[in-house]
Structure 1
């Protein structure tokens, strides 16, 4: 290893599976788009042969968001299915490890003095190292979720700062991002800078039921330390004020687990004659949550679109608003033939409108959380979403599923997906990932989700395939891949079925026709216990 005074390089986070992040802010569902400064566009760029190679003086340009593998940087995309693109075993990465260094100046508004300043990187494949003016700021892994860093102490309002984002292509994380897809490198989603008051909304959790009951749970923090006295929350739904839940606040005041630096409050209402959300009737309401200082001025605001609906499993049926549904689904990658994993909202909308026209009503985000804009569109246009964590250890699945070095990574990836996407009515199922065998890590991740969000079922093909009729594994749905129609029908008629059977992949469409579709759907529509599936791809 080449000596480097940089502590992030010396740490070698690209070969430390126990380290999922350093100095990264917790994931949350607060809307930060208003007032943010986009940092998309041309950045100075160098492609190094390894992460510990020295940065030189010769810079080219790379466009953000985008993969350097599609921008003539000297490193091409690769396609593999099961086999990793390098021979090194987990958690190791190859010595020849393309590393992109992105750099640009940012002008920090003078009006942000006294505010909390946050840098958000939408996606980096696969390890992100962040520096501001040469100072290490943070580390993040997971190629398909945003990373946020508090840079308040690293920048000066009214002055210019240099941001450097270093992206290491191969890492310990690559072994659990071994999806059947093209391998790229780069900053594939937008980068932005935003500011909040030190007193800010740390998270907002919305639960909206089909009977019209709305519950909005808010967490409040202050970047300066203990919370000030007198803060309070207000909210409105389609312009109608929400009530504060006094019983909840009283219970929290007596709960020793709520400390002086974490505030919790609940707002709520019951909407008479509520218009419920389904894929066929995607009714949405406008929710605004405001955090106030003691003098009544607004410190922070978050806006959401709310869909009232219930998801539950009763016997062997997946129900939405108490009704059994058919899942006419498709597996979806973030993919564009020219820009790779960088897809515009306009392209996504065109894809979804086309799917809608041909009768599809569901999407599985194969095999990672998709671009955030996809979920907004699914809420608006009406699609059921099986939201899938960025976990696939295909080449080394059996070894990694119980390797304690990767336990934190599995739970972290599932939990952060849930924390980001929990307020979307379109998301009706959480998926623990894809083709990663079945081990203790899946049970740990499932336990976290079932505690945090008991209102949605879980699915994981690797658990359910062991026994479609099991009742004690990490999957609430039997979700096989390419199971013969005859076997599915026989299972549904056997008297042993305990949970819905919805194929997570069927009718493989890559390079050939979708044969037997009519037979498949005739069986689904005629056989109680079968509810459809997701076409690949």
Structure 2
């Protein structure tokens, strides 16, 4: 009775809404949410028809398949009223039409304008002059005055042998809605732009002759209200177009449920085959199921059945297979399934093949289990994006993605926010990635309140069709372990119904999730019943901890976290320190995998990766908010990816006891299914970056989720003064596994050894130092070194060594408190909130410059800078030593009257461009920051200043190094300038060296920033200067990594005012021929 009471109001609301809507509009299919298709085939699994088992297994294309990819005739119209109405007729003359590539997005191919927005509907955005919907979205209305229509035509030839077969056309994905004609006859209509649309074209074709196919594609339709995703809003035929044929009695669909028994040892294979008879009479057939493992048949069954005329039946097979090799992402073992139809004479009519894997997915005791084992999803969100073709992917890019993910300890992908091309699922099955398969539903632009389409029964059909068709297509892939009903579409009756529909449809009973089921505010969250997993978006580390401390009835796996926009991925280690503490915290999905830049040329010929606002005039744009990847658009790793690999490692090395002879290390196996016997483990004992000893460990037989203690002999080292010793552990693959080669490093750790050797062999710093004085400067001489400090500015204005200028005149060290804002800085309001520190950088007032002689013969110059904008003071004491080196002792007294934290605290100087060789002993080799340095080990590195640039597409702070003990810039002759930290060795300093000024990367060169938008800028526009900027810093604020729209870096990674900060370093002129000489010199200061 309760159910009836619940349904009646929905029915009443539905018909009331529909009646009101129907009275107000002309019901075009592309503006009618109740019409999502006309004459479209039901959803089905992906497979191809072959004439025999041998051909099905050969890997060769089927003779019953014709690709229509390639060049099509194309006409672009700005509106439906301007479209060529009768273009589909066979006699239509398209000779003057241009050609377009299929698959392809027509905006990328030069027709129309690509638009990027995140939350709004681009066709109903008040920022654009092109729409009639000036007051915002009015579903299901879309613009008529500007709603581009693409008209496609192509001719194709069908074999005469197809005459007595059923012939279908399959369009893998078309955005957003389209009509189709064959030989001038209207076949049907479809919308839902990320799943196949298949039509039975048998009545319309001419076998043995030339045929014509025509498509009329609308850029925007009512379906666009469910496709409000954070990506390029572009149009066209985005995936393969193909024609195929099947016999009159054919396999229409099949579902394979390959699970493990309760002991997770043996396999249970349940196969359901839908057979359709198109003949006007009954047909007796045989159907055989064969399961192969490496060409060996391990199960086979056959049935005889009668298929009634013009009907469809389901044939079931059930087999127990003992034993089986289970499928999981670490060991993705696949079996080959063959299904063959025979006629009454026993001759094959049709055969299909499919690779399947035995695996069970379930939730028990609040944990997600695969094959009975709690798994950790180290995941990323993945958009379909190609830097040159937009939404059109190819095998090369898929394989690059698979390779990069597997090599960098990523084992899961959430397909954001739509089902992707079928081939991607095949690759994930083959190489081992867990998939969260997500329906093509996002109505973000409608909000989550009363206007949400989730709550409107008029949109129920559209919601459910997108969910159920996804399940039908992808149900047979072992890599798909979770269904997602969509993203950011609110919650309500349509998602309640969707949850129930998926549960009824999927015989494998995978978990179903939906992120917008949140109830309550952050740290007071509950989740509605229609999600099996708690999948919030962008929880901070405290929220992870809060959920981890509670006994949950569902796993906690955020669907989006660690927003990786620009220079980001800070505090990623903090997330995983918490995740590793609590069993029900089972990972998460980084936002996101790849930048969505489009490779283009600007008006000056520069190659750029275009983002929102780079195309068209007065178009709505959310700027570079789609550049959130841990790889660039062309799949080049960013420093954030290296941090992900390190933090995601499946093998952990933890020191238990360290002394001068032994190191006792706990080796933890965090793999879910892999024994450590598969890896070589090596230890390296290093001193100041030099390997002293290499230890190859014997095979370790540590099962998953367990640990083992090892003891290493590190004796026999003669300790040297002022030397740091590290033990580095490394695990690498013994043999190739899938796409991962032998010898690939999967895990590593650096352990500081507690061997104190702080006594220094001090250099004789006294020398024969002389000082003279002019009206403007203090001049110091010793041997072949000259140094000048300006009396008014307090800066080193000249520093010469062996007649070589070590600094650019007048550009010696000066206090610096600003960095070019990162995307996260902008999101947190740093350019406005912290602007006083930028002013302090430019408005320094020197109040004291005073020289004096010390008892040891050295001189010192005391300089005080008043910083009125932050009511603080910065002081430097130069100690000019007899050997010509200069020690700078720096103190910032940061006033409590300034409330904002300090973006950067340090000094900056400029050097001539010739000092391009950069050597440092500190963290590297890639860029690192205080909250993103787990992957950067302390070591001795040599590079070039030219290579320090990290080319974030929107220019911003980049290239920093932390925990630097010493660094040197030298020219080709080996002459240069060295900086040696005078802090505790474990502290060091931070450093940036590159041929650009910090202001080059700043989105604004003035003190004031716009309230929302950053200046449109690309890294290709930033040209190297004839100088080197060298920042020698106490530190910077962290880059952050929670989100890019408000979150600050964690408190412990910020430089807060109200205290005194002090740090010291020594400038040392050097002339060397080998890197080893720099190490020796560093020990003398």
Report TM bin, short chain: over 0.9
Residue 306 of structure 1 is matched in structure 2 by 356
Find the aligned partners of 1:350 and 1:169 in 2 and give their Cα distance: 30
Q: Which stretch of structure 1 is more off in the superposition, 508-517 or 470-479?
A: 470-479
**Structure 1 length as normaliser, TM-score?**
0.93
Residue 84 of structure 1 is matched in structure 2 by 121
Which of 62, 66, 81 is residue 37 of structure 1 equivalent to? 66
Q: Deviations over 1:196-243 (max 9, x none)?
A: 1010011110011123111111010012356x2421210211142745
Residue 491 of structure 2 is matched in structure 1 by 438
Following superposition, the deviation at residue 294 of structure 1 comes to: 2.3
Contact 1:101/1:166, CA 8 A, preserved across alignment: yes
Residue 793 of structure 2 is matched in structure 1 by none
Local SS of the residue matching 2:256: strand
- Correspondences of 1:344-493 after superposition (within 5 Å): 344-398=394-448, 399=451, 400-454=453-507, 455-464=509-518, 473-493=529-549
Following superposition, the deviation at residue 494 of structure 1 comes to: 2.6
Following superposition, the deviation at residue 410 of structure 1 comes to: 0.4
Q: Deviations over 1:11-54 (max 9, x none)?
A: 62110111110000011115126331000110000011223434
Which of 100, 110, 133 is residue 72 of structure 1 equivalent to? 110
Local SS of the residue matching 1:462: helix
Local SS of the residue matching 1:296: coil
Q: What are the ranges of 5 or more consecutive residues in structure 2 without an aligned counterpart?
A: 1-25, 49-60, 88-93, 125-132, 261-265, 593-1085
Q: Which stretch of structure 1 is more off in the superposition, 417-426 or 391-400?
A: 391-400
Which of 374, 377, 383 is residue 327 of structure 1 equivalent to? 377
1:60 corresponds to 2:98: yes
Local SS of the residue matching 2:208: coil
Following superposition, the deviation at residue 401 of structure 1 comes to: 1.1
Contact 1:471/1:498, CA 8 A, preserved across alignment: no
Following superposition, the deviation at residue 464 of structure 1 comes to: 4.1
Find the aligned partners of 1:206 and 1:158 in 2 and give their Cα distance: 36
Local SS of the residue matching 1:340: coil
Q: Which stretch of structure 1 is more off in the superposition, 36-45 or 216-225?
A: 216-225
Find the aligned partners of 1:196 and 1:319 in 2 and give their Cα distance: 39
Following superposition, the deviation at residue 527 of structure 1 comes to: 1.2
Residue 267 of structure 2 is matched in structure 1 by 212
Contact 1:225/1:261, CA 8 A, preserved across alignment: no
Q: RMSD of aligned C-alpha atoms?
A: 2.1
| Count of residues paired in the alignment | 518
Residue 201 of structure 1 is matched in structure 2 by 251
Distance 1:469 1:324, change over 3 A: farther
Residue 7 of structure 1 is matched in structure 2 by none
1:510 corresponds to 2:565: yes
Residue 263 of structure 1 is matched in structure 2 by 313
- Correspondences of 1:270-285 after superposition (within 5 Å): 270-285=320-335
Q: Deviations over 1:404-440 (max 9, x none)?
A: 2211010000000000000000000000000000010
Local SS of the residue matching 1:502: coil
Residue 47 of structure 1 is matched in structure 2 by 76
Residue 341 of structure 2 is matched in structure 1 by 291
Find the aligned partners of 1:328 and 1:154 in 2 and give their Cα distance: 49
Find the aligned partners of 2:550 and 2:337 in 1 and give their Cα distance: 46
Residue 15 of structure 1 is matched in structure 2 by 31
Q: Which stretch of structure 1 is more off in the superposition, 508-517 or 279-288?
A: 508-517
Find the aligned partners of 1:170 and 1:393 in 2 and give their Cα distance: 14
Find the aligned partners of 1:464 and 1:508 in 2 and give their Cα distance: 20
Distance 1:164 1:439, change over 3 A: same
Contact 1:30/1:202, CA 8 A, preserved across alignment: no
Distance 1:479 1:465, change over 3 A: farther
Local SS of the residue matching 2:337: strand
Q: Which stretch of structure 1 is more off in the superposition, 129-138 or 43-52?
A: 43-52
Contact 2:283/2:309, CA 8 A, preserved across alignment: no
Q: Which of the pair has the greater relative contact order for Cα pairs under 8 Å at 6+ separation?
A: 1
Distance 1:493 1:275, change over 3 A: same
Following superposition, the deviation at residue 469 of structure 1 comes to: 7.4
Following superposition, the deviation at residue 316 of structure 1 comes to: 1.2
Contact 2:278/2:309, CA 8 A, preserved across alignment: no
Contact 2:464/2:501, CA 8 A, preserved across alignment: yes
**Structure 2 length as normaliser, TM-score?**
0.46
Q: What are the ranges of 5 or more consecutive residues in structure 1 without an aligned counterpart?
A: 1-9
Local SS of the residue matching 1:27: coil
Quick check: which one's helix share is greater?
1
Contact 1:28/1:203, CA 8 A, preserved across alignment: yes
Following superposition, the deviation at residue 466 of structure 1 comes to: 5.1
Find the aligned partners of 1:277 and 1:164 in 2 and give their Cα distance: 43
Which of 73, 80, 94 is residue 143 of structure 2 equivalent to? 94
Following superposition, the deviation at residue 449 of structure 1 comes to: 0.6
Residue 524 of structure 1 is matched in structure 2 by 579
Greater CA radius of gyration, 1 or 2? 2
Following superposition, the deviation at residue 272 of structure 1 comes to: 1.9
Following superposition, the deviation at residue 472 of structure 1 comes to: 5.7
Following superposition, the deviation at residue 163 of structure 1 comes to: 0.4
Local SS of the residue matching 1:526: coil
Contact 2:547/2:556, CA 8 A, preserved across alignment: no
